[in-house]
Amino acid sequence: MIVGRPTRRAVVTGAAALAPALAFGRQRQAPTRNGAEPPPIVFVHGNGDSAALWINNVWRFESNGIQRNQLFAIDFPYPLARTDDSKPQALRSSTDDQMRELAAFVAQVRSTTHRRKVALIASSRGGNAVRNYLKNGGGAEFASHAVLCGTPNKGIVVSDTMLVGSEFNGAMPFLQGLNSGPDDLVPGVEMMAIRSDKNDKYSQPDARFVGHPGKPTGVGYDASELRGAKNVVLEGLDHRETAFHKLAFAAQYEFIVGKPAGTLFIAQEPLPTLNGKASGIAEGVYTNLPMSGAEVEIFEVDPKTGDRKSNIPVHRKTTGADGLWGPFVAHSEAYYEFVLRMEGEPATHIYRSPFLRSSDIVHLRPQPFGKGDEGAGAVVMMSRPRGYFGIGRDKFSLDGKVPPGITEGVPAVSTGKLSFDAKPRTVVAVFNNETIPTRTFPMKDNHIVVAEFTN
């Protein structure tokens, strides 16, 4: 991957989503440059996402001496934005909804940690919630830093004809209100924005990524910048990578702690304890609500073939009201297959790279079948939740091929899919230095396979 180091340094107020903090072990808290203890950090996810996307950021902060019980990630129950922010829409949230939920979450973090202020790190839409909380929800009193990563601060479009009523339209009331002052600063809060140079699909002068190719959006490549704040440009990174790439972490850490990170690598734990939540789909929309009655099995698999080492799972649980499928003590060099069975959805087989550290945000979602899957013997998908696939920038393949739908130019697609016959076989997914082996399962028996990249 071709990336550049930050061209400018910026103050980071991170907005994040909260998940229960499990204190596995104790390490000495990393002091800031002036010797003070850094604030607790709250991670805020983006549109349609969950706390699970922050796992690498959390691990890197831990690897640099920030205690696990000072790192929190929120799960907005309804993560998708309304089409029109002013009109109720089932299973979707308004800007007011997310502001209230973030305020409650920060209050919980402050009570848990006995600290007056937190640092906020946000991805994409999460930055809208952070800015709204700081400016209109009383959050400036309780935040020391805010870091917004790929947040469309000027909007995805500024238009009277596209995305009318959307919180992502710079001509609509929400962003008009946030951007009404001479700058985007909030008194008392150190603020930083991290953006791509030209690779953010939502900061483009052409509206092809919002369904209107050839039409001007009214914004440019700098749509994610904050006026008056510190702005960091990370060359070559895509929309999601501005939050989750290791270079984004480096900027986040230095802004909050006041000195460069000691390492960008993740320190390995031999026996990480894993947990997370099973959540589902309602009317075709993902939510972050916990699902009870979901069956989760975990199998250790061969790192080359994906074959199960035993037909007896190393972990099995039916979730309760909290949706939690763990805890499970893993081996940090082992490859695992997670099988999620949920009423009304395909049995989803999720293959992952080894888990290097403990985490309680290993959330699981079912994967529905898509158009064109009907005639397949088996379906395998590769998924990159923390970034997109860039032809020419990245090395990636599924069964040795580039799946259809991934195009050249600005990285804009995070999944790829291939169909196979019903005969069981190994299918290998590759993204740069990460290789995940999977096994096919017959679609006629309601099975779908996902290779989920960590990086």
| pLDDT cut 90: percent of the chain above it | 90
Q: 276, 325 in Cβ contact below 8 A?
A: yes
Backbone angles phi, psi at 130, to 5 degrees: -65, -50
Token reading at 411:
């990285």
Separation CA 337–CA 351 (nearest Å) = 5
Mean pLDDT on 429-440: 98
| pLDDT cut 70: percent of the chain above it | 93
* pLDDT higher than 80, residue 5: no
Token reading at 7:
């061209």
Please report the DSSP string for 348-398 in residue order: EEEEEPPP-S-BS---B------TT-TT-SEEEEEE-TTS---BTTB-EEE
In the chain, where the domains are located: 13-257, 273-452
Q: What is the DSSP letter of 445?
A: G
Separation CA 149–CA 306 (nearest Å) = 35
- Hunting for tokens 């996307």 — which residue is that? 53
Backbone angles phi, psi at 178, to 5 degrees: -65, -30
Determine the topology of domain 13-257 in CATH: Rossmann fold (3.40.50)
What residue ranges in 176-329 does DSSP mark as E strands? Answer: 190-196, 206-207, 212-216, 230-234, 273-274, 279-282, 285-290, 295-301, 315-318, 328-329
* pLDDT higher than 60, residue 68: yes
Separation CA 403–CA 382 (nearest Å) = 9
- Hunting for tokens 């702690």 — which residue is that? 257
What does pTM read for this prediction? 0.93
Tens digit of pLDDT for each residue in 223-233?
A: 999 999 999 99
Q: Which CATH number, 3.40.190.10, 3.40.440.10, 3.40.50.2300, 2.60.40.1120, labels domain 273-452?
A: 2.60.40.1120
Q: 105, 42 in Cβ contact below 8 A?
A: yes
Q: 84, 164 in Cβ contact below 8 A?
A: yes
Q: What is the DSSP letter of 277?
A: B
Q: Which helix (H) or strand (E) holds 417?
A: strand 415-420
Tens digit of pLDDT for each residue in 238-293?
A: 999 999 999 999 999 999 999 999 999 999 999 999 999 999 998 889 999 999 99
Mean pLDDT on 328-335: 98
Tens digit of pLDDT for each residue in 136-175?
A: 999 999 999 999 999 999 999 999 999 999 999 999 999 9
Q: What is the DSSP letter of 167?
A: T
Tens digit of pLDDT for each residue in 74-123?
A: 999 999 999 999 999 999 999 999 999 999 999 999 999 999 999 999 99
Tens digit of pLDDT for each residue in 363-405?
A: 999 999 998 898 899 999 999 999 999 999 999 999 999 999 9
Q: 121, 147 in Cβ contact below 8 A?
A: yes
Token reading at 394:
């990245």
